[in-house]
Amino acid sequence: MNQETKKFVYDQDFEKLFSELFATHKPIKAKIEKKKLVSLGLLITKFQRLELTIKYFIGILANIANDQQLIHALLSKYSFSNFLLVLETVATQKQFHRMDDLKLLLKKATKAEEIRNQLIHSTWSAGGRFKTTIKHGKGVVHTFDKYSSEELTQITEMVNKIDTAISAIEFDFLEDCHKKGMNMNEVKHI
Protein backbone atom coordinates (compact mmCIF):
# COMPACT_ATOMS: atom_id res chain seq x y z
CA MET A 1 0.00 0.00 0.00
CA ASN A 2 1.43 3.42 -0.88
CA GLN A 3 1.84 6.17 1.73
CA GLU A 4 -1.15 8.19 0.57
CA THR A 5 -3.43 5.16 0.84
CA LYS A 6 -2.01 4.31 4.28
CA LYS A 7 -2.85 7.84 5.47
CA PHE A 8 -6.38 7.33 4.17
CA VAL A 9 -6.84 3.95 5.86
CA TYR A 10 -5.06 4.69 9.14
CA ASP A 11 -6.50 8.16 9.82
CA GLN A 12 -6.69 8.47 13.63
CA ASP A 13 -8.76 11.67 13.57
CA PHE A 14 -11.37 9.98 11.42
CA GLU A 15 -11.35 6.83 13.57
CA LYS A 16 -11.98 8.90 16.70
CA LEU A 17 -14.89 10.75 15.06
CA PHE A 18 -16.31 7.53 13.64
CA SER A 19 -16.23 5.84 17.06
CA GLU A 20 -18.10 8.76 18.61
CA LEU A 21 -20.73 8.82 15.87
CA PHE A 22 -21.11 5.05 15.69
CA ALA A 23 -21.75 4.89 19.44
CA THR A 24 -25.04 6.76 18.92
CA HIS A 25 -25.98 5.72 15.40
CA LYS A 26 -25.82 2.18 14.07
CA PRO A 27 -27.41 2.21 10.61
CA ILE A 28 -29.01 -0.87 9.19
CA LYS A 29 -27.22 -1.76 5.99
CA ALA A 30 -28.29 -4.16 3.28
CA LYS A 31 -26.49 -7.46 3.22
CA ILE A 32 -25.42 -7.98 -0.36
CA GLU A 33 -24.54 -11.51 -1.35
CA LYS A 34 -20.74 -11.90 -1.33
CA LYS A 35 -20.81 -13.71 -4.70
CA LYS A 36 -22.43 -10.64 -6.27
CA LEU A 37 -19.76 -8.37 -4.85
CA VAL A 38 -17.04 -10.68 -6.16
CA SER A 39 -18.74 -10.78 -9.58
CA LEU A 40 -18.91 -6.97 -9.69
CA GLY A 41 -15.23 -6.75 -8.72
CA LEU A 42 -14.31 -9.19 -11.47
CA LEU A 43 -16.36 -7.18 -13.96
CA ILE A 44 -14.39 -4.04 -13.06
CA THR A 45 -11.08 -5.90 -13.41
CA LYS A 46 -11.95 -7.58 -16.71
CA PHE A 47 -13.23 -4.31 -18.15
CA GLN A 48 -9.97 -2.56 -17.22
CA ARG A 49 -8.11 -5.34 -19.04
CA LEU A 50 -10.30 -4.73 -22.11
CA GLU A 51 -9.38 -1.03 -22.00
CA LEU A 52 -5.68 -1.91 -21.87
CA THR A 53 -6.02 -4.32 -24.81
CA ILE A 54 -7.71 -1.59 -26.86
CA LYS A 55 -5.00 0.95 -25.98
CA TYR A 56 -2.32 -1.53 -26.97
CA PHE A 57 -4.08 -2.31 -30.27
CA ILE A 58 -4.26 1.41 -31.07
CA GLY A 59 -0.52 1.58 -30.43
CA ILE A 60 0.13 -1.34 -32.76
CA LEU A 61 -2.01 0.08 -35.55
CA ALA A 62 -0.37 3.50 -35.16
CA ASN A 63 3.03 1.76 -35.13
CA ILE A 64 4.01 3.20 -31.74
CA ALA A 65 3.47 0.09 -29.60
CA ASN A 66 7.16 -0.06 -28.71
CA ASP A 67 6.70 3.22 -26.79
CA GLN A 68 4.19 2.46 -24.04
CA GLN A 69 4.80 5.85 -22.40
CA LEU A 70 3.75 7.60 -25.60
CA ILE A 71 0.61 5.48 -25.87
CA HIS A 72 -0.37 6.35 -22.29
CA ALA A 73 0.48 10.03 -22.82
CA LEU A 74 -1.75 10.19 -25.88
CA LEU A 75 -4.67 8.17 -24.53
CA SER A 76 -4.72 8.53 -20.73
CA LYS A 77 -7.48 11.16 -20.63
CA TYR A 78 -9.76 9.46 -23.15
CA SER A 79 -13.05 7.85 -22.23
CA PHE A 80 -13.71 4.26 -23.24
CA SER A 81 -16.00 5.36 -26.08
CA ASN A 82 -13.19 7.58 -27.37
CA PHE A 83 -10.78 4.61 -27.27
CA LEU A 84 -13.21 2.74 -29.50
CA LEU A 85 -13.55 5.70 -31.86
CA VAL A 86 -9.77 6.12 -32.10
CA LEU A 87 -9.32 2.38 -32.69
CA GLU A 88 -11.89 2.37 -35.50
CA THR A 89 -10.45 5.54 -37.05
CA VAL A 90 -6.84 4.33 -36.98
CA ALA A 91 -7.89 0.90 -38.30
CA THR A 92 -9.74 2.59 -41.17
CA GLN A 93 -6.73 4.79 -41.94
CA LYS A 94 -4.45 1.75 -41.93
CA GLN A 95 -6.90 -0.19 -44.13
CA PHE A 96 -7.18 -2.92 -41.51
CA HIS A 97 -7.77 -6.24 -43.26
CA ARG A 98 -10.62 -7.42 -40.98
CA MET A 99 -12.62 -4.23 -40.59
CA ASP A 100 -16.03 -5.93 -40.54
CA ASP A 101 -14.91 -8.22 -37.72
CA LEU A 102 -13.42 -5.29 -35.83
CA LYS A 103 -16.66 -3.30 -36.16
CA LEU A 104 -18.59 -6.23 -34.67
CA LEU A 105 -16.17 -6.33 -31.74
CA LEU A 106 -16.39 -2.56 -31.26
CA LYS A 107 -20.19 -2.81 -31.19
CA LYS A 108 -19.96 -5.52 -28.50
CA ALA A 109 -17.44 -3.42 -26.55
CA THR A 110 -19.78 -0.41 -26.71
CA LYS A 111 -22.64 -2.49 -25.29
CA ALA A 112 -20.30 -3.94 -22.65
CA GLU A 113 -19.46 -0.42 -21.49
CA GLU A 114 -23.14 0.52 -21.32
CA ILE A 115 -23.94 -2.54 -19.18
CA ARG A 116 -20.83 -2.08 -17.03
CA ASN A 117 -21.79 1.54 -16.35
CA GLN A 118 -25.35 0.54 -15.42
CA LEU A 119 -24.09 -2.07 -12.99
CA ILE A 120 -21.16 -0.23 -11.45
CA HIS A 121 -22.83 3.18 -11.11
CA SER A 122 -25.84 1.82 -9.24
CA THR A 123 -26.85 1.37 -5.64
CA TRP A 124 -26.86 -2.30 -4.74
CA SER A 125 -29.11 -3.77 -2.08
CA ALA A 126 -29.99 -7.24 -0.95
CA GLY A 127 -32.71 -7.32 -3.60
CA GLY A 128 -30.79 -6.03 -6.59
CA ARG A 129 -29.62 -2.90 -8.36
CA PHE A 130 -31.32 0.47 -7.98
CA LYS A 131 -30.61 3.49 -10.17
CA THR A 132 -32.23 6.91 -10.30
CA THR A 133 -31.75 9.08 -13.38
CA ILE A 134 -33.43 12.04 -15.01
CA LYS A 135 -34.55 11.91 -18.63
CA HIS A 136 -35.90 14.52 -21.00
CA GLY A 137 -39.68 14.30 -21.16
CA LYS A 138 -39.85 11.68 -18.39
CA GLY A 139 -38.41 13.48 -15.38
CA VAL A 140 -37.04 11.32 -12.59
CA VAL A 141 -36.77 7.67 -13.58
CA HIS A 142 -36.20 4.88 -11.06
CA THR A 143 -34.87 1.56 -12.31
CA PHE A 144 -34.73 -1.63 -10.30
CA ASP A 145 -33.23 -4.83 -11.69
CA LYS A 146 -32.41 -8.12 -10.07
CA TYR A 147 -29.25 -9.95 -11.06
CA SER A 148 -28.09 -13.29 -9.76
CA SER A 149 -24.39 -13.79 -9.16
CA GLU A 150 -24.48 -16.25 -12.08
CA GLU A 151 -25.88 -13.56 -14.40
CA LEU A 152 -23.20 -11.12 -13.28
CA THR A 153 -20.60 -13.81 -13.94
CA GLN A 154 -22.01 -14.33 -17.45
CA ILE A 155 -21.66 -10.61 -18.15
CA THR A 156 -18.08 -10.68 -16.87
CA GLU A 157 -17.32 -13.71 -19.04
CA MET A 158 -18.67 -11.88 -22.09
CA VAL A 159 -16.41 -8.89 -21.37
CA ASN A 160 -13.51 -11.33 -21.08
CA LYS A 161 -14.47 -12.92 -24.42
CA ILE A 162 -14.57 -9.50 -26.10
CA ASP A 163 -11.11 -8.76 -24.70
CA THR A 164 -9.80 -12.12 -25.94
CA ALA A 165 -11.34 -11.59 -29.39
CA ILE A 166 -9.82 -8.11 -29.75
CA SER A 167 -6.47 -9.47 -28.62
CA ALA A 168 -6.76 -12.30 -31.18
CA ILE A 169 -7.65 -9.95 -34.04
CA GLU A 170 -4.72 -7.75 -32.99
CA PHE A 171 -2.43 -10.79 -33.16
CA ASP A 172 -3.91 -11.67 -36.56
CA PHE A 173 -2.99 -8.16 -37.74
CA LEU A 174 0.60 -8.66 -36.59
CA GLU A 175 0.75 -12.02 -38.36
CA ASP A 176 -0.62 -10.43 -41.54
CA CYS A 177 1.99 -7.67 -41.34
CA HIS A 178 4.81 -10.19 -40.91
CA LYS A 179 3.56 -12.21 -43.89
CA LYS A 180 3.63 -9.02 -45.98
CA GLY A 181 7.14 -8.20 -44.76
CA MET A 182 6.03 -5.14 -42.80
CA ASN A 183 8.09 -4.30 -39.72
CA MET A 184 5.82 -3.05 -36.95
CA ASN A 185 8.50 -1.14 -35.05
CA GLU A 186 9.77 -4.22 -33.22
CA VAL A 187 6.44 -5.02 -31.58
CA LYS A 188 6.71 -8.05 -29.38
CA HIS A 189 3.30 -9.61 -28.88
CA ILE A 190 3.04 -11.61 -25.67
pLDDT digits (tens, 9 = 90+) for 90-140: 999 988 999 999 999 999 999 999 999 999 998 888 778 888 889 899 899
Question: Could you give the CA distance from residue 73 to residue 122 in angstroms, rounded to a whole number?
Answer: 31
Per the CB < 8 A criterion, the answer to whether 19 and 26 are in contact is no
186: confidence class by pLDDT, cuts 50, 70, 90: low
Question: Could you give the CA distance from residue 23 to residue 42 in angstroms, rounded to a whole number?
Answer: 35
pTM of the model: 0.84
pLDDT of residue 166: 97
Question: Could you give the CA distance from residue 20 to residue 116 in angstroms, rounded to a whole number?
Answer: 37
Digit-coded pLDDT (tens) for 33-43 = 899 999 999 99
Amino acid present at 99: M
* Percent of the residues in the chain that have a pLDDT greater than 70, as a whole number: 95
Report whether pLDDT(85) > 80.
yes
* Percent of the residues in the chain that have a pLDDT greater than 90, as a whole number: 60
Q: Across the strands, what pairs with 140?
A: 134
pLDDT of residue 129: 86
pLDDT of residue 64: 73
Digit-coded pLDDT (tens) for 141-166 = 988 889 999 999 999 999 999 999 99
Sketch the domain layout of the chain as residue ranges: 39-179
Q: How many CA atoms lie within 13 A of 40 on its CB side?
A: 18
Per the CB < 8 A criterion, the answer to whether 87 and 99 are in contact is no
